[in-house]
Every structure is written in structure tokens, then in C-alpha cells.
């Protein structure tokens, strides 16, 4: 972890979508709330969903369980064509989760030409996880967009040097594998096989499994990244 610290990003679709637009994601794609994992409520989440983002208490019991799962090594990461980067900036987990969500779905969306994220991905796609993180540390445009977005939430952000107890991770479909991407871990975690048709439901099941390890904790928030049907 570097000495650089950002303000934490709020799990707020409106804030995150403004941020994504600044990065170069077309406004017809973005973040939507997942209010409940009940089957009836999931019908209201815009489809298709390309990634799931989970915000959770970093000291949750499930995090201890997930730490023991098998990581993909560097060779497997290259073979699976997954974009994975480490998180070395304090409080940048929200931005890292969003980058993971977008970068692993470039076959579904086209970023705006010469936008901050398009240029970042073009420069880092072939780099290793730590090198990607170093690029982000030096990226003025993404850092400035994150800073502006972090100050637009409904609650006042804590000081950048304050330890935040919540953490963002992303789930994506990479070549038929449901992967968990967490910049604080050594690599992607493969949970199971999946498909374009079943990814959303499969990822929801993993989130439900994790939340069941800490059922009394109300600090979990789930979000979907994908098409915004109301645009």
C-alpha cells in the first residue's frame, strides 16, 4: 500500500454514474441499486447486468472465509484474459471496483475515445497487477474525477487519512468463469462456471452466500453495473 490516500467513494448510483461519465463510460451504461436478493425484487434491476459490486464491512466474517479461497496465478490471469489490478491507494477500492467492472466488459461497451479510462486501459491492459496500480497512482485525471465524486455523496466523506471500515469488490464473467476481483487480494478468485445468461443470478448467489456468514450485519450494499434501461 502506498502513502497516497483518496476520499472514500459513496455507494450511491447517482454519484458513481456521474463519475463513470467523467471517465468516459457512455451514459446508457451505469450503476443500479440491488435493494434485495429476493427473486421478485431482482426483476427490477436493469438488464443486462455486466458486473456486480459488493460493499461490505472489511472485518466481516465472510472476508476471513474468502481469504482462504484459491487465487488465479499470473499465468491463469493471462489465459483467462481478465483485467485485474491491485489496490495500492488508500480508500480507492470503489474506483478499483468500477475499473474492474468496466475493463472486463469492453466487449459489451465502447468507451468514449481519448477519455481518461480509455487511455488508462490502453496503457495498462498488458501490464501486471502491481504495475496497473502504479499507473493509477500517477493518473491525474482519474484521481481528480474520483476526488470530485467522493465529495458529491449524501453524507460528508471522512478525512482521507481516516481508516474506513467498508470495502468494495467486483464480480465479473470472464470467459465463462465467475470471478471475484478485489484489489487487496493476491489475484482473482474463481467461484464457478457461469454464462452471459446466468451471470447475474450466479453472482447474486455468491453475494448471498457471503452475507449469510454475517447475517446480523446490515452494512452490506450490492450494486449492478450494466445497461440503464431508463436512458
| Residues recognised as catalytic | 93, 167
Rounded Cα–Cα distance for residues 89 and 147 (Å): 13
Query: Which cell is 139 given?
Result: 493518473
Query: Which cell is 218 given?
Result: 446490515
CB 38, CB 124: distance < 8 Å: no
3-state secondary structure (DSSP) of residue 176: coil
Sheet holding 29-34, edge to edge: 29-34, 221-227, 49-57, 166-174, 177-181, 189-193
H/E element holding 33? strand 29-34
Rounded Cα–Cα distance for residues 218 and 156 (Å): 20
Identify the bridge partners of residue 92 per DSSP, sorted by sequence position. Answer: none
Where are any strands of DSSP class E within 177-230? 177-181, 189-193, 221-227
DSSP structure class, residue 186: S
Rounded Cα–Cα distance for residues 16 and 153 (Å): 9
Amino acid at each position: 500500500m502506498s502513502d497516497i490516500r483518496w476520499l472514500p467513494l459513496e455507494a450511491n448510483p447517482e454519484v458513481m454514474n456521474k463519475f463513470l461519465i467523467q471517465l468516459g463510460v457512455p451514459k446508457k451504461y451505469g450503476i443500479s441499486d440491488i435493494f434485495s436478493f429476493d427473486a421478485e425484487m431482482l426483476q427490477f434491476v436493469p438488464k443486462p447486468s455486466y458486473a456486480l459490486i459488493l460493499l461490505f464491512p472489511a472485518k466481516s466474517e465472510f472476508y476471513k472465509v474468502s481469504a482462504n479461497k484459491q487465487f488465479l496465478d499470473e499465468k491463469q490471469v493471462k489465459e483467462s484474459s481478465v483485467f485485474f489490478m491491485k489496490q495500492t491507494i488508500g480508500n480507492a477500492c470503489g474506483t478499483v471496483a468500477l475499473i474492474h467492472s468496466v475493463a472486463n466488459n469492453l466487449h459489451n461497451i465502447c468507451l468514449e475515445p481519448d477519455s481518461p479510462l480509455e487511455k488508462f486501459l490502453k496503457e495498462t491492459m498488458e501490464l501486471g497487477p502491481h504495475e496497473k496500480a502504479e499507473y493509477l497512482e500517477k493518473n491525474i485525471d482519474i484521481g481528480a474525477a474520483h476526488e470530485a465524486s467522493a465529495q458529491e455523496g449524501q453524507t460528508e466523506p471522512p478525512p482521507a487519512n481516516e481508516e474506513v471500515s467498508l470495502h468494495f469488490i467486483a464480480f465479473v464473467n470472464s470467459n465463462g468463469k465467475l470471478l471475484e476481483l478485489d484489489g487487496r487480494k493476491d489475484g482473482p478468485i474463481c467461484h464457478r462456471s457461469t454464462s452471459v445468461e446466468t451471470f447475474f443470478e450466479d453472482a447474486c448467489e455468491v453475494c448471498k452466500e457471503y452475507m449469510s456468514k454475517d447475517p446480523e450485519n446490515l452494512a452490506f450494499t450490492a450494486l449492478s453495473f450494466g445497461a440503464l434501461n431508463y436512458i
